[in-house]
Chain A
Amino acid sequence: MLRIQDLFCTINNTPVLKGLNLNVKAGEVHAIMGPNGSGKSTLASVIAGDDKYDVTNGNVEFLNKNIIDLAPELRAAMGVFLSFQYPVEIPGVSVSNFIKIAVNEKRKQNGLEPMSSTDLLQEMKKNLELLKMDSSFLSRYLNDGFSGGEKKRNEIFQMSMLKPKLAILDETDSGLDIDALKIVANGVNSLRSSENAFVIITHYQRLLNYIKPDYVHILADGAIVKSAGPELALELEKKGYEGIIK
């Protein structure tokens, strides 16, 4: 599904990713862990198509298509979703209106009729329940005055509405209490299927207790330095990055 080969990128001429490789197949869950500043969010942004970053070498293939030059909204239409580490606020734009536009823009790109407001609302209600969110969420302005936890839940809510093929969760667990963490994990798990894949960026083993990864990678200084099964996250918890990256 996602195939990244020898990826190098810079921001403001500062190299960040330095020869990164990653393969994600449909149905898989990959966890990416790594020290602060190692390039995890950069990787997520580059996959999503943020042109703040200059890709200087390498390839990003999604669904067998090279997407390096594709606009982010078109990648989204193909099924890429990023749950932001720091979701932005858009005052005056309600969550429901935003999701309605997002869902219908994606449908339009895929040659589908827009979803009726009634259908949309029903779908929203269903997903809100799943995420144990109050329906008053819908009329609030996007992330405006949301607590950290609310912002993260709102990301997962949008994910559940957009049903991506590839979802990248960038530290979605940071700032969540244990109950919220379970709810979010539950939301992710209910979406899991053999058709889609997840890349989960996290610092903590605890999320991985609820969302079982197939692979754990360690990203350090712009490249993946170690890949293994779920046991790597446990080892990391004990030894810290220092103990694993020499």
Chain B
Amino acid sequence: MHLEHVDVEKVLLYNLIFMLEKDEKKIIKEVTEAEYKYGFVSNFDTDTISPGLNEDIIKTISKKKKEPDWMLKKRLEAFEVLKTLKQPEWANVEYPDIDLQNIIYYSAPKKKVQLNSLDEADPELLKTFTRLGISIEEQKRLAGVAVDVVIDSVSVSTSFKEKLSELGIIFCSMSEAIEKHPELIKKYLGSVVPAKDNYFAALNAAVFSDGSFCFIPKGTHCPMELSTYFRINEAGTGQFERTLIVAEEQSYVSYLEGCTAPQRDENQLHAAVVELVALDSAEIKYSTVQNWYPGDKNGVGGVYNFVTKRGVAHKNAKISWTQVETGSAITWKYPSCILKGDDSVGEFFSIAVTKNHQQADTGTKMIHMGKRTKSTIISKGISAGKSNSSYRGLVKINRNAENSRNFSQCDSLLMGDKCGAHTFPYINVNNKNSIVEHEATTSKIGEDQLFYCNQRGIGEKEAIALIVNGYCKEVLQRLPMEFAVEAKNLLEITLEDSVG
């Protein structure tokens, strides 16, 4: 099977090129018109149920997925919890109430595709991969990356599975995990983010259709980056994936998640839950490059990205969240660490870009419970157009978490004068020997910085890329090599024409 050539350098998902014009007004205008490249719709045959949310729908989902009774029971319990909860209102974002009855909760490509045997694959699906930039051949060459792709609700395939299973590593779709590793799922699913945690977590627990499961046994260093791509394709569908990563004692894993969605006028809902469990002395590195459709320049359409991500770090364990958020109409997300064990470490490195009418309310929560626990927060916000971006961070140091430390640095970069950036640090320290430091800065890409670059022969487009990449350096450095390039390109694309 022939696949269109995809340039790996310009990597995997995002490689729009942006044009910059000298004229500042034009620049502001163009940023608003910069187009989303992943807005295509694929026409494969799907198995889609009618919209709406009730017990029967949940039973149907569970049945379609041939789930065991205990799983259905978990879902129905979550649905009961959901009925008692309200959509959150406190985030610094505005959106109309989401009508859960208008959403399709299950849609799957009819043909299940094994990517190891390309010849049998649905050509439409392959086309989708190619358009996403993840041609399988390129993937294989990109040794060290195992990919699981979730289109709409169903995980389509997993490569490199065999190699991993030799080490006892499990990396599969959530459906498969429920079927083949019920004891692990029963033990850990919902253990970090219970259904009652919040409205969207309850919704997810009731209707999640697939996701990824990853298990690293004791003492094992996972030799490759594990990676999942999520994509919303079908109209009117919500994406409710569920990710669970369990790293046993002294193990290590680095995981990357990337997302795109077609361009549609309606708003699509993405309400995912990610749970990380790092047992004693384990380390989990979780990186996200999120590029859901942000809506058009007038703010029509786009993905509502309401995600609950949380990890528990046991004794001496480390959890590190790195995120590059450029997409979605609304992002509401606070990857968090519960530093439960003594000497555990939590990190959060974030780049959040908003433009046009995008709204982002993102940040992290670091809950220090163990003694001598440490957390670091580096947040880089970039706002352009009429967008609004907020950093909201909670650092809580419990009474027993003696000699704990937190360092937070929240920087905002403004492009143009119609955008906004806000920082809301919540600090709660309950003992005397812990130290919390918070730094915040706001800056603008200056005309003088640009002119300086221009004078040295560096054109507008390269100059912005250079300045923004410099600003984000600390975070970009944290991304796995293969994806740092991708994230850099994505930033350039997104900020295309954003200076004013």
Asked if A91 is an interface residue, CB under 8 A from chain B, the answer is yes
Q: Is the CB of A76 within 8 A of B470?
A: no
Cα–Cα, bound, A162→B453 (Å):
13
Asked if B89 is an interface residue, CB under 8 A from chain A, the answer is no
CB nearest to B463 among chain A residues: A73
Asked if A71 is an interface residue, CB under 8 A from chain B, the answer is yes
List B contacts of A101 (CB < 8 A).
Answer: 458, 462, 466
Q: Which of A72, A92, A142 contacts B454 (CB 8 A)?
A: A72
How far, in Å, is B478 (CB) from chain A's closest CB? 13
Asked if A88 is an interface residue, CB under 8 A from chain B, the answer is yes
* Stretch from A45-53, A119-127, A229-237 contacting the other chain: A45-53
Cα–Cα, bound, A141→B471 (Å):
11
* Stretch from B332-340, B399-407, B443-451 contacting the other chain: B443-451
A74-94 contacts to B, CB under 8 A, are 76-77, 80-82, 84, 87-88, 90-93
Asked if B457 is an interface residue, CB under 8 A from chain A, the answer is yes
* Stretch from A6-14, A102-110, A191-199 contacting the other chain: A102-110
List B contacts of A84 (CB < 8 A).
Answer: 452, 455
Q: Is the CB of A76 within 8 A of B466?
A: no
B444-500 contacts to A, CB under 8 A, are 446-449, 451-460, 462, 466-467, 469-474
Asked if B22 is an interface residue, CB under 8 A from chain A, the answer is yes
Q: Is the CB of B455 within 8 A of A76?
A: yes
Q: Which of B22, B451, B471 contacts A91 (CB 8 A)?
A: B471
Asked if A96 is an interface residue, CB under 8 A from chain B, the answer is no
Q: Is the CB of B22 within 8 A of A98?
A: no
Asked if A172 is an interface residue, CB under 8 A from chain B, the answer is no
Among B452, B459, B462, B471, max chain A CB count under 10 A is at: B452
Asked if A158 is an interface residue, CB under 8 A from chain B, the answer is yes
Q: Known contacts A52-B447, A72-B451, A84-B452; decide if A93 and B458 are in contact (CB<8 Å).
A: no
Cα–Cα, bound, A51→B23 (Å):
9
Q: Which of B447, B448, B458, B474 contacts A73 (CB 8 A)?
A: B458
Q: Is the CB of A71 within 8 A of B469?
A: no
List A contacts of B456 (CB < 8 A).
Answer: 76, 98, 102, 105, 158, 162
Q: How large is the interface on A (under 10, 10 to 19, 20 to 34, 35 or more residues)?
A: 20 to 34
Among B455, B472, B473, max chain A CB count under 10 A is at: B455
Q: Which of A50, A76, A88, A93 contacts B457 (CB 8 A)?
A: A76
Q: Which of B22, B452, B458, B474 contacts A88 (CB 8 A)?
A: B452
Q: Known contacts A51-B22, A88-B446, A93-B466; decide if A102 and B457 are in contact (CB<8 Å).
A: yes
SS class of chain B's interface: helix, strand, loop or mixed?
A: helix
Q: Is the CB of A98 within 8 A of B466?
A: yes
Q: Which of A88, A92, A106, A158 contacts B448 (CB 8 A)?
A: A88
Q: Is the CB of B452 within 8 A of A87?
A: yes
Q: Is the CB of A105 within 8 A of B458?
A: yes
Q: Known contacts A92-B470, A93-B466; decide if A50 and B451 are in contact (CB<8 Å).
A: yes
List B contacts of A73 (CB < 8 A).
Answer: 454-455, 457-460
Q: Is the CB of B459 within 8 A of A92?
A: no
How far, in Å, is A68 (CB) from chain B's closest CB? 14
CB nearest to B451 among chain A residues: A50
Q: Known contacts A90-B466, A92-B471, A92-B473; decide if A71 and B452 are in contact (CB<8 Å).
A: no
How far, in Å, is B356 (CB) from chain A's closest CB? 25
Among A48, A72, A162, max chain B CB count under 10 A is at: A72
CB nearest to B467 among chain A residues: A90
Q: Known contacts A52-B447, A88-B448; decide if A105 and B462 are in contact (CB<8 Å).
A: yes
List A contacts of B474 (CB < 8 A).
Answer: 92
List B contacts of A82 (CB < 8 A).
Answer: 455
Q: Known contacts A71-B22, A90-B449; decide if A141 and B470 are in contact (CB<8 Å).
A: yes
CB nearest to A79 among chain B residues: B457
Cα–Cα, bound, A163→B460 (Å):
22
Cα–Cα, bound, A72→B448 (Å):
13
How far, in Å, is A172 (CB) from chain B's closest CB? 14
List B contacts of A162 (CB < 8 A).
Answer: 456-457
A105-136 contacts to B, CB under 8 A, are 105-106, 109
How far, in Å, is B488 (CB) from chain A's closest CB? 12
Q: Known contacts A52-B447, A88-B449, A90-B449; decide if A71 and B459 are in contact (CB<8 Å).
A: yes
Q: Is the CB of A76 within 8 A of B452?
A: no
A40-59 contacts to B, CB under 8 A, are 48-52
How far, in Å, is A105 (CB) from chain B's closest CB? 5
Cα–Cα, bound, A50→B458 (Å):
14
Cα–Cα, bound, A87→B451 (Å):
11
How far, in Å, is B206 (CB) from chain A's closest CB? 44
Q: Is the CB of A105 within 8 A of B459?
A: yes
How far, in Å, is B101 (CB) from chain A's closest CB? 47
B1-30 contacts to A, CB under 8 A, are 22
Cα–Cα, bound, A91→B443 (Å):
11
List B contacts of A106 (CB < 8 A).
Answer: 457
CB nearest to B446 among chain A residues: A88
List A contacts of B446 (CB < 8 A).
Answer: 88
List B contacts of A52 (CB < 8 A).
Answer: 447, 451
Cα–Cα, bound, A80→B451 (Å):
13
Q: Is the CB of B467 within 8 A of A72?
A: no
CB nearest to B24 among chain A residues: A51
CB nearest to A92 among chain B residues: B470
List A contacts of B449 (CB < 8 A).
Answer: 88, 90
List A contacts of B462 (CB < 8 A).
Answer: 101, 105
CB nearest to A72 among chain B residues: B454
List B contacts of A92 (CB < 8 A).
Answer: 469-474
Cα–Cα, bound, A106→B462 (Å):
13
Q: Which 10 A-B pairs have the closest CB atoms?
A: A92-B470, A92-B473, A76-B457, A93-B470, A72-B454, A102-B456, A106-B457, A105-B457, A88-B452, A73-B459
Q: Enumerate 22 A-B pairs (CB-CB under 8 Å) in ascending A order.
A: A48-B451, A48-B455, A50-B451, A71-B459, A72-B451, A72-B454, A72-B455, A73-B455, A76-B456, A76-B457, A80-B455, A88-B448, A90-B470, A91-B471, A91-B473, A92-B472, A92-B473, A93-B469, A93-B473, A101-B466, A105-B457, A162-B457
With contacts A90-B453, A105-B459 known, what are 17 further pairs, Cβ within 8 A? A48-B455, A73-B455, A73-B460, A80-B455, A88-B446, A90-B449, A92-B469, A92-B470, A92-B471, A92-B472, A98-B456, A98-B466, A101-B458, A105-B462, A106-B457, A142-B470, A162-B456
